[in-house]
Amino acid sequence: MIVFLGFGFVVSGIAKNENAVPPIANLITLPQFLLAGTFFPISNFPDWLQPVSRALPLTYLNEALRKISFEGASIFDVWYDILILVIWGIVVYAIAVKVFKWE
């Protein structure tokens, strides 16, 4: 969830006022909800769209949670998904540091 909090910092840093926050937040969250395998399996998407889906951080969170919940995997079994989320966290917070300003 820390990765998605970082997205919030990025959005708040980019938005010029509070009216600009919802459209910017929707540009980030809507594609993730639709393309990250939350509602539909990624394998059902067209071949050209599957790499885009695999680039989203929510994809790896969904996969890790499914493996732990349904397959009985441990936290160590989903190390790859966690690694991708850590990389996303580093990237998102690097961007957030650049764009976020306390005002």
Work out the pLDDT band at 90, boundaries 50, 70, 90: very high
Distance between CA atoms of residues 5 and 99, nearest Å: 14
Domain extents for the chain? Answer: 2-99
Work out the pLDDT band at 85, boundaries 50, 70, 90: very high
Tokens matching residue 50 = 């599957």
Per-residue pLDDT of 6-26, as tens digits, reads 999 999 888 888 898 999 999
Per-residue pLDDT of 39-68, as tens digits, reads 989 999 999 999 999 999 999 999 999 999
Three-state SS at 74: coil
pLDDT at 101: 77
Distance between CA atoms of residues 39 and 89, nearest Å: 23
pTM of the model: 0.85
